[in-house]
Structure 1
């Protein structure tokens, strides 16, 4: 299953099917294993993750020593970069992806930072009892808004994890009408703002928080 249509012979496809990909963030090279054949969309780096990492690196948010959780982490790029920027990060995905995710996290964090990153199973709407309500200052998600049947569970998960001070950052492409549907669901529970747009990759970053609601779509 592919999230977006693309040319089977194009550079984007070759990148997705490459067993390795590398990025430079937080003064370090992050080299990630990919495994499209075995895990599909969960095991490749999507543009939204790269854009979100660049946004975090801009320094507008102070992640140092802050509790952070990444949802649907896939290769772990966002969680790894947040850890390199000083956060204590819980990096989550479904059970089938955890071994792969853990291998990338361990390979890309220096030994002194590894205790700051914990890989943990989270299936949206199902494993919430394993996470303290409102325990995180930041919730991060890159390209996790694409399956309509998961929208209610994702929203339930966000509500469980949030306190009044929690900041949610979701990076995504707006591809289909169902993406707009999720954003409408989100703004029914949170105040939502678009805080960044990368025109070169067509990726939006939305910030959501509890409190007075703002309709800006």
Structure 2
């Protein structure tokens, strides 16, 4: 009888969205608790475990590898047991089974263990690094769905098996790359035999779910682990080198980006300076214009003062001479006022002339000399020299 693709194993709406899954194996109705709302994949009954459980049932009926006569009393371990269906089925045949999984899955797995079989046939435990070695049977249902899991499973299988152990793996093919990596890695230490669909339960099988029976090669443990460790060391070194190269590239790119930004900023500044006239020459030009205006105004004031002095001098020459009396200074009242207002130096000179009692006939010449001194504003040092 061939495999029917529309089988009960793939009634996903019933098995993946309920909190209780019921499955009959060897005439026993197993009730399995599960949590479809959990984020952990192990808290749900997966189809590969149903296919494997029904395969054990068929083997028992046909006196095969996993019949009661051969499996009774054998030590078995299920890796990544999830809700424990495959291990429970093998325990029904008569094997002593250890169910293992991570700590997050253990509460539901423990409940299924308590509710279905006696402690004499079954134990449940969190998977630890120090598990008993050399089991007779090793089960793994739907544990190969990502490449990162392959090496962990590979190491555990090397640790818990010997050349007499039988490994059976049920896996739903989801990724060709993962399947190729699985075959490439595991074939280094184990021989493969794929279970044909014709030997599986016709109602609980599917072409996408594959069963493999593996046997460890002689002397594979030490050599395989050494090869795996060397490969991982090389990959780790390559990853570190790649990370260093990426970091260097990122730093170089960041530095180049900063240089580009700086150059763009300088180019913009130069462009703005070319478009606008420089500010400093404008300020200097304004300052020069202001200084020129001040100098021009000062020159105009000087010219006006000179013109006023010349006009006053001309008016004084046109005025009639004041009456002169013996003992008088011989200077008109108007000329004396002008001399007093203009400069103190001509006054000192006139006072000196009066003190020396210059003859009356020469006073006229003294007056004219005083007028000339007042007009040209003789410097201070010249007057001091004249007095001495």
Bin for the TM-score computed over the shorter chain? 0.7 to 0.9
Quote the Cα distance in structure 1 between the aligned partners of 2:25 and 2:46.
16
Q: Which has the higher strand share?
A: 1
Equivalent residue, structure 2, for 1:4: none
Equivalent residue, structure 1, for 2:100: 92
Q: Which has the higher helix share?
A: 2
Aligned-residue offset at 1:172? 0.8
Q: Summarize the Cα distance change of 1:115–1:39 in structure 2 as closer, same or farther, 3 Å threshold.
A: farther
Aligned-residue offset at 1:11? 5.7
Native 8 Å contact 1:128 1:160 kept in 2: no
Aligned-residue offset at 1:201? 5.7
Quote the Cα distance in structure 1 between the aligned partners of 2:39 and 2:56.
27
Out of 206, 217, 232, the position equivalent to 1:211 is: 217
Out of 201, 208, 212, the position equivalent to 1:202 is: 208
Deviation per residue, 1:106-139 (Å, 9 max, x gap) = 1111xxx3222111111xxxx322x1321x1000
Deviation per residue, 1:21-41 (Å, 9 max, x gap) = 111102200111110212542
Deviation per residue, 1:126-166 (Å, 9 max, x gap) = x322x1321x1000011011122121111000000001100
Tell me whether 1:119 sits opposite 2:127 in the alignment: no
Equivalent residue, structure 1, for 2:87: 79
Question: Per the alignment, in what secondary structure is the counterpart of residue 95 of structure 1?
Answer: coil
Quote the Cα distance in structure 1 between the aligned partners of 2:116 and 2:20.
13
Quote the Cα distance in structure 1 between the aligned partners of 2:209 and 2:140.
13
Superposed, 1:178-189 pairs within 5 Å as 178-189=178-189
Aligned-residue offset at 1:179? 2.2
Aligned-residue offset at 1:73? 0.5
Query: RCO higher in 1 or 2 (8 Å CA, sep ≥ 6)?
Result: 1
Question: Per the alignment, in what secondary structure is the counterpart of residue 114 of structure 1?
Answer: coil
Quote the Cα distance in structure 2 between the aligned partners of 1:86 and 1:118.
13
Equivalent residue, structure 2, for 1:145: 144
Structure 2 residue runs of 5 or longer lacking an equivalent are 1-9, 221-388
Equivalent residue, structure 1, for 2:41: 41
Query: Over alpha carbons, which structure has the higher Rg?
Result: 2
Quote the Cα distance in structure 2 between the aligned partners of 1:11 and 1:165.
37
Quote the Cα distance in structure 2 between the aligned partners of 1:39 and 1:32.
18
Number of residues paired by the alignment? 195
Aligned-CA RMSD value: 1.9
Equivalent residue, structure 2, for 1:107: 115
Deviation per residue, 1:46-102 (Å, 9 max, x gap) = 111111111111221232111000010011111111111101000000011111101
Question: Per the alignment, in what secondary structure is the counterpart of residue 184 of structure 1?
Answer: helix
Q: Summarize the Cα distance change of 1:31–1:188 in structure 2 as closer, same or farther, 3 Å threshold.
A: same
Quote the Cα distance in structure 1 between the aligned partners of 2:216 and 2:15.
38
Equivalent residue, structure 2, for 1:128: 129
Out of 76, 81, 91, the position equivalent to 1:68 is: 76
Question: Per the alignment, in what secondary structure is the counterpart of residue 200 of structure 1?
Answer: coil
Equivalent residue, structure 1, for 2:168: 169
Native 8 Å contact 1:196 1:206 kept in 2: no
Quote the Cα distance in structure 2 between the aligned partners of 1:201 and 1:182.
18
